Structure 1
Amino acid sequence: MSRKIVQNYYKIVYFCLLLAVFLPLIFYRNTFSPFHFTKNLLFRVLVETLFVFWLVLAWADKRYRPRLNLLFWLVNAWFLSYLITSVLGVDWSRSFWGTLERMGGFILQLHLWLYLIILISVFKTKEQWFSLLRLSIVASFLCSLYALAQKANLGFVLGGGRERVFGTVGNPALFAGYTLFNFFWALYFILKRDARDKWRKFFVGVAVLQFVTILLTAVRGAIIALLFGLVLLGILYIFLQRGKKTKIVILGAIAPIVILSSALYLARGSDAVRGNEFLRRVTDISLQTETIQTRLTTWHIALKAAASRPVFGWGPENFSVAFAQYFDPVFFKSFGSETFWDRAHNVFLDILTAQGIFGLAVYFCLLGGVFFSLYKIFREGDDEARWLGAVLLVILLVYHIHTFFIFDVFSTDLMLIIFLGMVYFIYAKFTGREPETKEPEMSPPKPRKFVLVGGLFIVFILFFVLAVAPFKTNYLGTRAVVADWQHQHEQVIGYYQRSLESGAFPAYEIRHKLAGYAFSVASAQKLSQGEIIKTLDLAISETQKNIDQHPKDYLPYLYLGRVLNYKARYNNQAVLQARDNLQKALALNPAYPRIYYELGQNYILQGDYQNALKIFQEALNLNQKVAISYWYVAATYARLGDYQQAAKYVLLAQERGYEFNQKEEATQAVVIFNEIKETAKVAEFSQKVATLDPTAQNYASLAVALKQNGQYQEAILAAQKAAEIDPGFAREAQIFISQTKPLVGSQ
């Protein structure tokens, strides 16, 4: 192979490596998980393409092969531990593919590992690495500009008008983590001795913008990490610099940060701080804070889960399975509560739960290797190496402070990979461990064309398997949702069928969205019975596939149980099928009240009110602060004819904030209190019914209830409202009013 061809291959690989840093900017709004999905698909294609060219390049020229050192082997050990624990976990399929929400899994780790191997094999000079870092800073700059556009609520941005910004990363905490890396890279170039003036001015502007956008995320962990990193970097800079003036300037910059941060924290209880939403949030780091309480509860669950599978863990991406098994009912407050957690929100507990002691030990070894490399840099490197080593040390500590309360996604994973590559390079380069081959060491040429063509053919196939098929599944799923908004049932079903025909990732999530659509169709009763049954049957068939693929996940059983509960209205045999699936869901998540509710409804469908009452009582006992549990108990007592007990639990539900915002519930409450002659409550809930469904009949009923409760003037107004809504009620209303008016004076 000629040198010219080698150089062309090198340019392709080099360009692809640089191009990767712009992927955090990419998103496509017409997909589910728009800020994670497209980035990952493009990264897969990019890495697979450059891998083929790099393979031929490394075969032809030994200069483009990785040099083996401690860090190289530790990175490989970490990747191997991820593979082993994925295979040995409770759901290898999810460990391999990841989830739509996070887009992680072995498939991402494999591509990140390949990217790192190619990166350290091809980038041999500091200028190459600095070019990569500069471009990453530029990408981060654009991401921060987008965050400002979100804050300004500009019409063209996705996610505008919110209190907290998230750029193109999709989540304030994840955006802050991504920006932290680039902020400290920018500081490195600002304080670097030989920095060009034009670059320095640009990086100063970028750093200021990044600092502001990190604050605008209002992520406490990120802000603490940011301030800690600034102070530590300033201290290290003072020790590494020789000039007194520079040290004074740095001290002058550190002091206000420390003083202002301390003053704000000490004044956290003042009206000035409490009255400002941003200051109130960032200074509220008490253990009693709701966010911190949920973190602590999640960590407790993670520790219990890790103790049950201590060696190899539950497998990467399977935290949701572990979380369900040890679910704490405190998370459930009502429908819509955040009861599904797929991360422990702590980097160490995430690893411990997913990969066990084995994986955590390998991770600590990798950390030890990084610290050892940085130590060698400080000990053996020149001034430039030591300064870069200082920045790397700060980034490492800042990263772990931030991820002590959060997790990684592709954008932060990519930054971490670049960080590891930098540590590898600077350790090898500045300690004299990276020999350079002056002339290309050429290998026999014959097999290379076959390797290139064959490799590109494989990449072409993988492009369809790992990118096109998932994109089609995701995109068509979103079209089904849009068609649902437009009430186009046939199109909804068509899109879902086309989306799921290949069964490609992320079919799991799309199937559950189909099940959700089936719930709404069956509940609304606006289609023909045949169409409703057809929709339910499709949802049943697809949801069963999720159970077959993920038998230890409670969620598909719950979805299938709910669909079958609806199907039971048309086919009695579905009652027992639903119960079987709901009981399986309960075995996998024994403390989740929502499953009990569905199981209770299942018994009601069969007319078994005693068992339904027992199930609802069990749900109530799980968390006695949940208002809706009291209502379910009340409604079941009413079915049993025990209206005194029913009324008692209605009042308990009200005490806990239940608002009876469904007309059917308020109507049932009217019946309950009517049976025990509680006229005040009958009037109260009749008013609720009329407000929710303002028909003439409901206002007429309200007028009667108010009159029975002695509220004569209000009763007259309700009767007048009934006649106003429907003139057909005018005669009866006039009679009612004439009979009620004489009583007004006695009210």
Structure 2
Amino acid sequence: MPRLFATKSTSESLLVYLVFGFLLAALFTPLIFSGKFFFPYIFSKAYYFRIFVELALVAYVWLLATAPQWKPRISWVWLAVTGYVAVAYLASIFGINFHRSFWSNAERSEGLLMLTHVWLYFTLLHALLRTRDQWRVFFHTALGVAFLATIYALDQKWQVFIPQLNKIFQSLGLSTHLSLAQAGTDRLTSTIGNAAFFAAYLLLNIVLAAYVFFYHQGKIWLRAVYGAVLAFFILILFYTATRGAILGLLGGVFLYSFALLALHANKKMRAAGAAVLCAILLFGAAVWTAKDTAFVQNTLALQRLTSISLTDPTTISRLATWKASWTAFTEHPILGIGYENYRVAFNKHFPITLYDIRAEQWFDRAHTIIFDILVTSGITGFIAYASIFCAVFWSLRKLVRDTESAQTAYGALILVAGLAAYVAQNLFVFDTLPTYMIFFAILAYVGSQTPLQENDRITQRFAAFVDSVKRFTPKPHPVILAGVVTIVVFWVHVQVNILPARANRALAQAIMEQSNGKYADALRHFRESMALDTNQQYEVRQRFSEFLLSNNLDQRFTQEEIAQLYKEGTDALEQNITAYGDDMQHHAYLLSLYERAVNADPSYLERAIAVGEEAIAKSPTRPHTYFTLARLEARTGTDAGKQRALELMHEAAALSPQNPEMYLNLIHIDLVLGLTNQAEADYQQLTELTQWRQSPGSMRKLAELYIFYKNYHRAIELYQDAVATGHEQSQDHIRLAALYYETQQLAEAKAAAVRAAELDAALAKETAAFIAQIDQVLETSP
């Protein structure tokens, strides 16, 4: 068996295989997750990937020191990818917060830090793997990892091995670190932890599987394995029920088939292309026509595909977000606001529609690659990103032309169609590390097969540029330089991997101890994580504030300890605002904590109001901020505070005049301020809203508010209205029974209790005792 790499010495061979081994090890990233980390599916993958890329870099630098012929090669694809990364850096340098652009956060674990590691991974693959045999090993490994991920996903559906393994881990005391996810049988998530992200990863592996199946004309049994793996991946993709990925796959197959029909000289191949096109169209028409049948409705993937409409909450949310994104783009059209800064633009232009439909309120991605790039990198970044695909298309075209091989043409067409499918699904989701890995590996493959020659003008200019840089830099011995790089990489490893991992783990332990009711231990771990002062500090501070907000501190700490905790929490969040003042979310966290802290120390009130005003200035369309600030203003007890509270509530109501929630909060402030006549006027205005009669949840919430202010008759009226909507609950009648009893309407109380028992048999004993009590009162009454 011939050697995979042609080397001239043992040391060279050792270093080449070390680099290759580390890059192969990085391919296992999608399988990595650990419960000992905060965001176990994301941070643990990033941690693992960065380590092996850094190891590969060190080995590669030593390889260059001893064998310069392995220096990076230039291709149009490499230039395009490098250009995109350079634009991302440029946009971030001139953006609104370079620190966030570089470090990102634990939830995403991306930023320029990860982009740089992905670029290094891409560049090392581009430099090291030069033959198709080398790439075949790499692709086989990638497909093997994807196969393991799909097996794991399938067992999430079957629940055969995962529960047994979890029992073993639990018996060994390892459940915290090695517990396997049991996602149920709806949407498969595998080791990726999210169905949409898993589907995106699978889609690119389907492209790889199709490529090796159609391109490599090997043994029949091997092609049969490729075909089986391809079919298996498609089946698992279907079970993720991810609409964007499924539609992207169908679009890619459609494009490939159309190309066969339009370009192929062979009539049979054109006929095959036409047949597939017709099959896709007929499939789509059949599913859409049968969308109301039991089969489609009971098949999650088909049900989700046929539920796409302009009135679908997800569609409404996406369109509103994209509209806000367009506005943000027009404010910084050239270079955008910097990598990872989308959240700032989103908060500034928060779509009130999301509040109205009760969708997700905090977005750090536009959920489409178009606006993610336009907002963060401007039109320059978008052009740079598009140039990558232009370079791939040009390179594949050149490869087909140079080889004049039908086999190469088929392979190139598969890659073009596959990348088109990838772009199509990215119109509705965003990339994660597992998809980056396969995407950039495909780019590296195309670039490595079409390198620019030494006598090419671009190569010569690049070499001249490198030479000009060398004139102004020291020229140490290659081995000394490799040693320096090794030391630098080790230092970087400690700063970007080891310390953040310690802080992340301490945070995860804090949250776990909190969930177990061990609040003293949780507090110790929170403080440990904050003391490390890593790039994840702002998330740790936010979670610490959530710890303070989610617990009844009076039952767990002394008053002196509570005062100290509020000071720690507010000081920490004030530091967040100092470092990331452009992000309104930090103001929202601090405002909530101040509102709670005011109960223990009224001296916080003035600063709380100031933070609230700053929050509104940074995100003027977020109703919750108005509500919180109005409550704080009302607590001042001054006429000016009361007036400002009313102004804030009316400003909030004006943001969405047809939303009943606005008036609920307005009436709340009216009652807090003792403005009963104004509350009545606002209530009458509320009842005239079209949505009010279909809002039983809002009716119950308002009824409880009136109960708090002892307006029982209005509360009865509201619970009766809630029942009249056709969404009655047993608890509606329980509350009505209590209210009727309180207002001496005993017959009505008895009837309400009977109805509650009819709706929920578990209440029979409780309602029987209540009815007996009523009967006793009736017997003793004159």
Q: Does 1:135 align with 2:141?
A: yes
Shift of the alpha carbon at 1:63? 2.5
Please tell me whether the aligned partners of residues 376 and 431 of structure 1 are also in contact (alpha carbons under 8 angstroms).
Answer: no
Deviates more, 1:165-174 or 1:241-250: 241-250
Aligned with 2:673 (options 634, 640, 646): 640
Aligned with 2:214 (options 162, 187, 191): 191
Question: Which amino acid counterpart does residue 414 of structure 2 have in structure 1?
Answer: V
CA distance 1:29–1:627, shift in 2 (3 Å): farther
Q: Distance in 2 between matches of 1:616 and 1:523?
A: 30
SS at 1:393's partner residue? helix
Question: Which amino acid counterpart does residue 234 of structure 2 have in structure 1?
Answer: F
CA distance 1:423–1:38, shift in 2 (3 Å): same
Aligned with 2:492 (options 462, 479, 484): 462
CA distance 1:474–1:708, shift in 2 (3 Å): same
Q: Does 1:103 align with 2:102?
A: no
Shift of the alpha carbon at 1:562? 1.5
Please tell me whether the aligned partners of residues 521 and 532 of structure 1 are also in contact (alpha carbons under 8 angstroms).
Answer: no
| Counterpart residue number, 2:697 | 659
Aligned with 1:409 (options 406, 409, 432): 432
CA distance 1:729–1:9, shift in 2 (3 Å): closer
CA distance 1:577–1:658, shift in 2 (3 Å): farther
Shift of the alpha carbon at 1:295? 1.5
| Counterpart residue number, 1:296 | 319
Q: How does 1:275-424 map to 2 (within 5 A)?
A: 276-333=299-356, 337-383=359-405, 384-424=407-447
| Counterpart residue number, 2:529 | 499
Q: Distance in 2 between matches of 1:732 and 1:131?
A: 80
CA distance 1:404–1:731, shift in 2 (3 Å): closer
| Counterpart residue number, 1:43 | 49
Q: How does 1:457-606 map to 2 (within 5 A)?
A: 457-521=487-551, 527-606=557-636
| Counterpart residue number, 2:664 | 631
Please tell me whether the aligned partners of residues 643 and 673 of structure 1 are also in contact (alpha carbons under 8 angstroms).
Answer: no
Shift of the alpha carbon at 1:119? 1.1
| Counterpart residue number, 2:450 | 427
CA distance 1:451–1:345, shift in 2 (3 Å): same
SS at 2:192's partner residue? coil
| Counterpart residue number, 1:669 | 706
Q: Does 1:215 align with 2:201?
A: no
CA distance 1:682–1:376, shift in 2 (3 Å): closer
Aligned with 2:654 (options 614, 617, 621): 621
Q: Distance in 1 between matches of 2:729 and 2:302?
A: 42
SS at 1:568's partner residue? helix
Question: Which amino acid counterpart does residue 152 of structure 2 have in structure 1?
Answer: Y
Q: Does 1:91 align with 2:126?
A: no
Q: Distance in 1 between matches of 2:693 and 2:364?
A: 33
Question: Which amino acid counterpart does residue 372 of structure 2 have in structure 1?
Answer: D
Q: Distance in 2 between matches of 1:194 and 1:431?
A: 32
Shift of the alpha carbon at 1:268? 3.2
| Counterpart residue number, 1:736 | 777
Please tell me whether the aligned partners of residues 736 and 749 of structure 2 are also in contact (alpha carbons under 8 angstroms).
Answer: no
Shift of the alpha carbon at 1:732? 8.7
Shift of the alpha carbon at 1:199? 2.3
- 1:247-278 per-residue CA deviation (whole Å, 9 max, x = no partner) reads 76666566534422332134435565346543
Aligned with 1:69 (options 52, 64, 75): 75
Q: How does 1:92-171 map to 2 (within 5 A)?
A: 92-153=98-159, 154-155=162-163, 156=166, 157-161=180-184, 163-171=186-194
Q: Distance in 2 between matches of 1:73 and 1:417?
A: 13
Shift of the alpha carbon at 1:106? 0.5
SS at 2:124's partner residue? helix
| Counterpart residue number, 1:438 | none
CA distance 1:650–1:47, shift in 2 (3 Å): same
Shift of the alpha carbon at 1:647? 4.7
SS at 1:371's partner residue? helix
Please tell me whether the aligned partners of residues 243 and 301 of structure 2 are also in contact (alpha carbons under 8 angstroms).
Answer: no
Please tell me whether the aligned partners of residues 227 and 257 of structure 1 are also in contact (alpha carbons under 8 angstroms).
Answer: yes
CA distance 1:483–1:658, shift in 2 (3 Å): farther
SS at 1:66's partner residue? coil
Shift of the alpha carbon at 1:83? 0.9
CA distance 1:262–1:543, shift in 2 (3 Å): same
CA distance 1:568–1:716, shift in 2 (3 Å): closer
Please tell me whether the aligned partners of residues 152 and 160 of structure 1 are also in contact (alpha carbons under 8 angstroms).
Answer: no
Shift of the alpha carbon at 1:673? 7.0
Please tell me whether the aligned partners of residues 367 and 430 of structure 2 are also in contact (alpha carbons under 8 angstroms).
Answer: yes
Shift of the alpha carbon at 1:22? 1.4
Q: Distance in 2 between matches of 1:591 and 1:629?
A: 13
Please tell me whether the aligned partners of residues 84 and 381 of structure 2 are also in contact (alpha carbons under 8 angstroms).
Answer: yes
Please tell me whether the aligned partners of residues 637 and 646 of structure 1 are also in contact (alpha carbons under 8 angstroms).
Answer: yes
| Counterpart residue number, 1:260 | 283
Please tell me whether the aligned partners of residues 378 and 385 of structure 1 are also in contact (alpha carbons under 8 angstroms).
Answer: yes
Please tell me whether the aligned partners of residues 522 and 566 of structure 1 are also in contact (alpha carbons under 8 angstroms).
Answer: no
CA distance 1:199–1:627, shift in 2 (3 Å): farther
Please tell me whether the aligned partners of residues 125 and 444 of structure 2 are also in contact (alpha carbons under 8 angstroms).
Answer: yes
Shift of the alpha carbon at 1:494? 0.3
Q: Distance in 2 between matches of 1:523 and 1:616?
A: 30
| Counterpart residue number, 1:705 | 742
Shift of the alpha carbon at 1:625? 4.6
Question: Which amino acid counterpart does residue 190 of structure 1 have in structure 2?
Answer: F
Identity %: 24
Query: Unaligned regions of 5+ residues in structure 2, if any?
Result: 1-6, 167-179, 460-474
Please tell me whether the aligned partners of residues 336 and 377 of structure 2 are also in contact (alpha carbons under 8 angstroms).
Answer: yes
CA distance 1:686–1:112, shift in 2 (3 Å): closer
RMSD: 3.8
Please tell me whether the aligned partners of residues 667 and 685 of structure 1 are also in contact (alpha carbons under 8 angstroms).
Answer: no
Query: Unaligned regions of 5+ residues in structure 1, if any?
Result: 436-444, 743-747
| Counterpart residue number, 1:439 | none
Please tell me whether the aligned partners of residues 99 and 317 of structure 1 are also in contact (alpha carbons under 8 angstroms).
Answer: no
Shift of the alpha carbon at 1:81? 0.6
Please tell me whether the aligned partners of residues 80 and 388 of structure 2 are also in contact (alpha carbons under 8 angstroms).
Answer: yes
Please tell me whether the aligned partners of residues 690 and 699 of structure 1 are also in contact (alpha carbons under 8 angstroms).
Answer: no
Please tell me whether the aligned partners of residues 65 and 479 of structure 2 are also in contact (alpha carbons under 8 angstroms).
Answer: no
Please tell me whether the aligned partners of residues 753 and 771 of structure 2 are also in contact (alpha carbons under 8 angstroms).
Answer: no
- 1:477-524 per-residue CA deviation (whole Å, 9 max, x = no partner) reads 111111112222211110100111111132222211111111123577
TM-score w.r.t. the length of structure 1 is 0.88
Q: Distance in 1 between matches of 2:455 and 2:226?
A: 30
Shift of the alpha carbon at 1:667? 4.8
Q: Does 1:681 align with 2:737?
A: no
Question: Which amino acid counterpart does residue 232 of structure 1 have in structure 2?
Answer: L
Deviates more, 1:524-533 or 1:463-472: 524-533
Deviates more, 1:648-657 or 1:426-435: 426-435
SS at 1:480's partner residue? helix
- 1:504-548 per-residue CA deviation (whole Å, 9 max, x = no partner) reads 132222211111111123577554323322222221122122112
- 1:528-586 per-residue CA deviation (whole Å, 9 max, x = no partner) reads 32332222222112212211221101111111122112221222220011111111111
Shift of the alpha carbon at 1:30? 2.9
Please tell me whether the aligned partners of residues 646 and 672 of structure 1 are also in contact (alpha carbons under 8 angstroms).
Answer: no
Q: Distance in 1 between matches of 2:643 and 2:185?
A: 47
Please tell me whether the aligned partners of residues 377 and 430 of structure 1 are also in contact (alpha carbons under 8 angstroms).
Answer: no
Q: Distance in 2 between matches of 1:110 and 1:39?
A: 16
Q: Distance in 2 between matches of 1:338 and 1:679?
A: 31
Report the count of equivalent residues.
726
CA distance 1:644–1:216, shift in 2 (3 Å): farther
Shift of the alpha carbon at 1:237? 5.6
